[in-house]
Structure 1
Amino acid sequence: MTTPVFRENPMQSILEAQVTAHTPEGGIVCDQSIFYPTGGGQPGDSGQLLLDEQVWDIATTVKGEGDQIVLVPAEPKPLPPVGSAVQQRLDWGRRMSHMRVHTALHLLSVVLPLPVTGGAIGEGKGRLDFLMPEPPSDKQAIEDAVNALIDQNLQVSDEWITEAELDENPDMVKTMSVQPPRGSGRIRLVRIGEGDSTVDLQPCGGTHVANTGEIGRIRIGKIENKGKQNRRVNLLLEG
């Protein structure tokens, strides 16, 4: 398995690791990873892998067999040998942009408390699709409400519950299209706020900023009609 260091230390951008396997497709598996694999609407991380004077540009990261995390090189070339000690370096600017957008989308789901039918995170932008028969009447009010939550500098943290506890609280799951992964017996929750000031608590496996102030100002972009019952709300970082 690959230890997902990004889960406990999402701010870590450099890591020493050991190559444990190669995939038939030419991917690299390490014993631990700061690279987040594609999942939950969040793209896989990119960056570099270093061994002595050699450098492998990593185009993306994906989930492999079992608990493996696979680093996908940008171009075909001989891979670092199994057993070698390598250094992982994240494209930190891209990762931080993903984290800011991801946390902002959680806040958007607070301001628009409707079932989420889809979503995607990009660099500097993201979107959520809502079960929303009629478009919102005041787009500026949505933008102002999300920015007001950001300005509260709310702490972002994670915790774990059992699958049975989630079954007892099904309303925690906001997404209709993606259900939390099961099988390990535990479900990770991301909390925004603390105690009575909690504004959001939902299952999520992605990476987030440490507090909402790190998001910066956001802008609500186009609100698109994506079917009779669906509206797509686009969100952009302003800086």
Structure 2
Amino acid sequence: MTTPKYLSNTYLDELTVNITRVIEMDDSVAMYCDDTIFYPQGGGQPCDLGVIIIDGSEHRVHHVESTKEGIAHILEAHPSLLTCAKKQCIQRIDIQRRLLNAKSHTAGHLISHILEELDSNLFPAKGHHYPSDSYIEMIETERTNDSYSVDLINDKIDALVESNPIDILAVDLDLAQVKSLRPLLSKLIPQNTQIRVIAIDGFKPVPCGGTHVRCTSELKGLRITRIKRKKDRLKVNYSIN
């Protein structure tokens, strides 16, 4: 099975591929290709948008999702699209949207790592990395701290973004390694032989299928805006330009 290009290269904004299938859907069509740079909505991250160019004509992609058949690119219906299977096309994403989404996703991971470092009783539970409403949730296995300082966390962010930026890598680990590193998360991920994890240098890797930037230096403008506790969960809102 082909590994989608968005997993290996966040910055690739154009790709020539082959159309494998087109399915009619009311006023839209679902187009499948043998590869894609379009990220499908999911994992707390919005999908990519852009265009698919066929025989010189642009067709706008207004949604992308994962289905049983693969990654579906949803386009407005047009008669010419129903006969384009097996043709070549050019995929082109909105790279500014992609990079903002990638920054927001990486930012959520970095904040999660900082909180884990501050309190070993916290571990990541949920991430909502939409730039307009970004937050992460941490579960507390044991209550040891009644207050977390927004200013302290922002200072630590500044150190890792401005003063001492660090690299971010996507690597594949086997399931046993992931279970050893993240036992509380291991049941929530696909039980595949190989698991993709995001490794921010110096922190414990986290299983993730999203897009990410290469270095924390790209997270300039990241700020924690609010920390709220609800029972055994800590919700941390953040923003990034």
Q: TM-score range by the shorter chain?
A: 0.7 to 0.9
| Partner of residue 76, structure 1 | 77
**In structure 2, what is the equivalent of residue 182 of structure 1?**
191
Map 1:190-229 to 2 at 5 A.
190-193=198-201, 198-225=202-229, 227-229=230-232
CA separation of 1:53/1:170 partners in 2, compared to 1, >3 Å: closer, same or farther? closer
* TM-score normalised to structure 2 length: 0.85
Structure 1 residues 137 and 123: alpha-carbon distance in aligned structure 2, compared to 1, 3 A threshold: closer
Decide which of 30, 33, 37 is 2:36's aligned counterpart. Answer: 33
How far apart, in 2, do the equivalents of 1:72 and 1:203 lie? 27
TM-score by length of 1: 0.85
1:214 maps to amino acid:
E
Counterparts of 2:146 and 2:96, CA distance in 1? 34
Please tell me the residue identity of whatever aligns with 1:72.
I
Aligned-pair CA distance for 1:146: 1.8
Equivalent residue for 2:96? 93
**Do the aligned partners of 1:6 and 1:36 also contact (CA within 8 Å) in 2?**
yes
Change (3 A) 1:137 1:154: closer
Change (3 A) 1:47 1:18: same
In structure 1, what is the equivalent of residue 119 of structure 2? Answer: none
| 8 A contact 2:181–2:204 mirrored in 1 | no
- Report whether the alignment pairs 1:123 with 2:131: yes
Kindly state the Cα deviation for residue 23 of structure 1 after the two structures are TM-superposed. Answer: 3.3
Q: 2:125, 2:195 → 1: CA distance?
A: 20
Deviation at residue 93 of structure 1 after TM alignment: 0.6
Give how far 1:125 is off.
5.2
Superposition RMSD on alpha carbons, in Å? 2.2
Matched, 1:155 2:167: yes
Aligned-residue offset at 1:59: 1.4
Structure 1 unpaired stretches of 5+: none
Partner residue of 1:7?
7
**Tell me, what secondary structure is at the counterpart of 1:115?**
strand
Note if 1:17 corresponds to 2:17.
yes
Shift of 1:136: 3.0
* C-alpha distance after superposition, 1:114-134 (max 9, x if no partner): 122322111365210122566
After TM superposition, give the deviation of residue 51 of structure 1 in Å.
1.3
C-alpha deviation, 1:229, in angstroms: 2.3
Q: CA deviation digits over 1:25-66, x for unaligned, max 9?
A: 321101110011122111111111111332111112111215
Task: Describe the SS at the equivalent of 1:27.
Answer: strand
State the number of aligned residues.
227
